Each structure stands twice: as structure tokens, then as C-alpha cells.
Amino acid sequence: MIYNKKKLRDINPKDIENKRVILRCDFNVPIDVNTGKISDTKRIDSALETIKYLINNKAKIILLSHLGRIKSIEEKNSNKKSLKIVYEYLKNKLIGVNISFENNNTSNDLVEKSNKMEPRSIMLLENTRYCDVNENGELVKDESKNNPDLGKFWASLGDIFVNDAFGTSHRSHASNVGIAKNIKNSVIGFLIEKELKKLQIAINNPKAPVVAIFGGAKIADKVDSIKFIGKFADKILIGGGMSYGFLKAQGYEIGTSLFFPESEEINKQLLEEYKDKIVLPVDFICAKDVESKPIKCKYNGFNKNVGGFDIGPKTIKMFKKIIKNAKTIIWNGPVGVFEYDKFRKGTLKITKFIASATIKNNCYSLIGGGDSAAAAQISGFDKFISHISTGGGASLDFLSDKTLPGIEVISNAE
Ligand code: ADP
Ligand code: MG
């Protein structure tokens, strides 16, 4: 999908001055359960360019985001998913900017408050998903199911809508689609602009050879993307939990490895359609469970009592040869249970090979998927990758040629 949407930079800065600008960001950051602190601030940092631009151009910013999912009144009252934590972080990043935090994101007096804002100030509203549960504790999903009244209310707080929440753009929520539908002037911010540009490079006439690497747990999550990218990729390397279904479909023993019987047909179909492109692992690091001692298994000599949790050394070598020559790489999904030290070697090596191809072979490398991005960060090779998307599900949908409703709804460029 190629989007030609109106951009923030297309608006004359003079038309932003003194205006109330509703800015939807994706501050859905991971919070460490032990410390209660933000463990990765990348998503907030990626939004700063747009925020600073609006501040420098004397806008009044009404800032919205979600944080996690809210399913009960207890969750809401616990404040564990309150955006207050993001508010504290932003205050330190935007010294000198007047930022306020609004606990009640649907209070009627917000309209008056927005009208009284000073230029260069920010009003951050509480987690938009607090609206998924009403005061009676009912799961009404006003935000997540895009209740039209909610979108209309938030839209009434501003004159211009800037959507910069790339990570939420595959969802049709009140705080993106709902607002855009109720405001005349809507644009995409700098982050969405950059994400689209970088993702498009990989799918719009990419330089050959194109190597796609798929991993992760479930084939069902990735099948649409494999089908779409498979059309123009030269090789499709498969690892991780999803590889075992392919091996089983070919009649091999896979022990207790991850396998989804309902996906058997999909595995067979893909093997048929892309038989010259799909490359499957030939050896594995296995164990009884993630706590047990690992052993090595081959694809044609699998021990029945164990399951595969990482790719083995022969596979690593085989994948390396293919990745080395790539001119475009699209990677989505770790090739092992990288959360455990003993099963992360394959995934970290993949990151290293991708980084090396990027530097030595002038390859364009793209990582989509939250866990793959986290793995790249652990490896330390993340800085060499051409682009690591901030949107897991959104980038996957984009790489499946699906429409992103949060972007589709924005006005077209003139
Ligand atoms: P991404 O977020 O990059 O799209 P996914 O969410 O699809 O990736 O997959 C990541 C998950 O897949 C990780 O939690 C990882 O532990 C799991 N995984 C990878 N390999 C295996 C395997 N062999 N068995 C079980 N789970 C696996
Ligand atoms: Mg994931």
C-alpha cells in the first residue's frame, strides 16, 4: 500500500501558531514489573521530533495515547497503566515547556481548558483506553471499538489533528480514526511519515536478492506477510516456533516442539507455493522445557521427548550464507526463545549477519516486530540496521499489504 497523505510539514507553520493541535502518539511503552519504571523509552523518544516541532511553532498541544489494555475497573483504579509515568518522563525531556496532566480524559471542562491554553504548552490526557471500562465497571470498549461520541468529543478539543501513533495505526480506535473523522484538518506526523518511507523501500521495487526471515511462535500471525513478501522475495528463511509446522507437514518428527494442528493446511500451501524460496532449519537446540538442559537435534533425527527452542549451528551457517549476499532483508520474528540466554544464540547471530550485510554489502535491512526489535537491541547490532520499526502489529500489517485504518483516514495530500 502506498500512501500519499497530508503531512505535518505540508501545513504552513503560521497556520499552527496559537492553534489547538490534537496529537495522537503511541506511548505504549513496556513497564518493568519489578521496578515500575519504563524499560524502553524508544516509542516516546521517537515522538519528540513532532512534539518539539509543534512547540517551536507555538502550538497548543492536546496529547493523547494509550498504554496497554484496560479490562477492569480494578486495573483502572490501580493506576499501573496510567500515563502519569510518561508525563514525568516528558517533563524531563521538554524542559521549559508547560505540561499539564489530566486525570479525567472525558471531563467536559477539557474544552474550556483547551481554549485557555497558552501557546507552546502541552495538556496530556490520561490513557485513552481508560475509556474502555465505564464507571460501572463494564467493558464498553469506547476507545478500542471507536465509539463515535468519544471521537467526536476528543476532536472538539482541537483545530488540527496530527496522527503520529504508527504503532496504533492498524487499529480503528476513537483516538485515531474517531478524531480524524470529526475534524477537517488532519495530517500524519514526522514519525508516521518516516515509518512509511522506510517500510516502503523494502516492498516497493526492493533491490534483489531480497531475503525475508520469519520467526516467532505462531504461523497464523505471519501467514499473510509470508504470502505477500514471498511474491517478491528470493529466499524465505523460516525459524522459531513456526518452523516446526513446516517440518511436520513434510513428515518429519518434531518431538514436543510448537505445533498448531489448525495451521497444517497453511503450512502445506506455503510449501507448495514457495517451494523454491522457503529455507527451513536443519538442526535445532532442543530441551524438555525451557528450564532443562539443551541438547542438539537434527531435522531427520529428532528426539521425541524434547522440543526445539532455537536453531542449531548448521542452520546458523546456512542462513549466514544466504543473508550475506542479500541486498534487501526483511526480518520479522525471533528464530528461538530468545528470552532465555541458552536459546538466544540463533537470534543474536541473525541480527549480527543482518548488520554485517547492511555494512559490507550495502544491503537495506528492515526489522518489524516488537520482539525482533528487542532482540536486535540485546545483540547491540541494532544501530547498524537500516530501519527498526516502532510498530509491531502495524508494521506486520503493512508488510502484509493490508490497509492501516489510522493512516487511511487522514486527508490525502493535495
Ligand atoms: P515479533 O514480535 O518480532 O513479531 P513474535 O511475537 O511473532 O515476534 O514472536 C516472538 C515470540 O516467539 C517470542 O516470545 C519467542 O519466545 C517465541 N518463539 C520463538 N521461537 C520459539 C520456539 N522455538 N518455540 C516457542 N516459542 C518460540
Ligand atoms: Mg511479539
**Region 137-144: what's the mean pLDDT?**
98
> What is the distance between the alpha carbons of residues 23 and 49, in angstroms, rounded to a whole number?
12
Question: Torsions phi, psi of 72, nearest 5?
Answer: -145, 160
Output the residue whose Cα is nearest ligand 1's atom 8: 333
CA angle centred on 99, ends 89 and 157, rounded to 5°: 120
176-214 residue pLDDT tens? 999 999 999 999 999 999 999 999 999 999 999 999 999
> What is residue 33's predicted lDDT score, i.e. its pLDDT?
84
Show the cell assigned to 357.
Answer: 550485510
Span 101-115, average pLDDT:
97
Catalytic residues: 43, 218, 370, 393
Q: What is the pLDDT of residues 300-343, one digit of tens each?
A: 999 999 999 999 999 999 999 999 999 999 999 999 999 999 99
- Asked if 203 contacts 232 with a C-beta cutoff of 8 angstroms, the reply is yes
Instruction: Using a pLDDT cut of 70, give the percent of the chain over it.
Output: 100
- Region 104-110: mean pLDDT is 97
pLDDT at 24 over 90: yes
Give the separation between CA 159 and CA 22, rounded to whole angstroms.
Answer: 8
pLDDT for res 414 = 85
For 36-45, write each residue's pLDDT tens digit: 999 999 999 9
Residue 237 pLDDT > 90, yes or no?
Answer: yes
Q: How far, in Å, are 96, 135, 166, 198, 375 from residue 349 at the CA level?
A: 44, 50, 28, 24, 10
Nearest Cα neighbor of 399 from 237, 274, 224 is 224
Q: 309 CB less than 6 Å from ligand 1?
A: yes
Summarised one tens digit per residue, pLDDT across range 249-296 is 999 999 999 999 999 999 999 999 999 999 999 999 999 999 999 999
The number of the ligand 1 atom at minimal distance from the alpha carbon of 334 is 19
- For residue 125, CA distances in Å to 87, 97, 223, 337, 358 come to 9, 16, 37, 37, 41
Give the residue, out of 371, 377, 397, with the most ligand 1 atoms within 8 A of its beta carbon, to mutate for a pocket test. Answer: 371
- The CA 380 to ligand 1 mean position distance, Å, reads 19
pLDDT tens, 396-405? 999 999 999 9
Give me the DSSP letters along 176-236. IIIHHHT-SEEEE-HHHHHHHHHHHHHHSSPPSSEEEEE-SS-HHHHHHHHHHHHHH-SEE
Residue 234 has pLDDT above 90, yes or no: yes
- The string of DSSP codes covering 268-296 is HHHHHHTTTTEE--SEEEEESSTTSPPEE
- Ligand 1 site-directed mutation target among 256, 337, 390, 398, most atoms within 8 Å of CB: 337
Distance CA 352, CA 186 (A): 40
Ligand 2 midpoint to CA 393 (Å): 8
pLDDT at 403: 97
Q: Please answer whether residues 122 and 99 qualify as being in contact, where contact means their C-beta atoms are separated by less than 8 angstroms.
A: yes
pLDDT of residue 298 exceeding 90, the answer is yes
CA of 215 to the centre of ligand 1 (A): 6
∠393-6-401 over CA atoms, to 5°? Answer: 35
Ligand 1 and 239: CB distance under 6 A: no
Strands 283-287 and 185-188: unpaired
371 lines ligand 1 (CB under 6 A): yes
- Structure pTM? 0.95
Model confidence band, residue 356 (pLDDT cutoffs 50, 70, 90): very high
CA angle 180, 182, 185 (to 5 degrees): 60
Could you tell me the three cell numbers for 279? 529455507
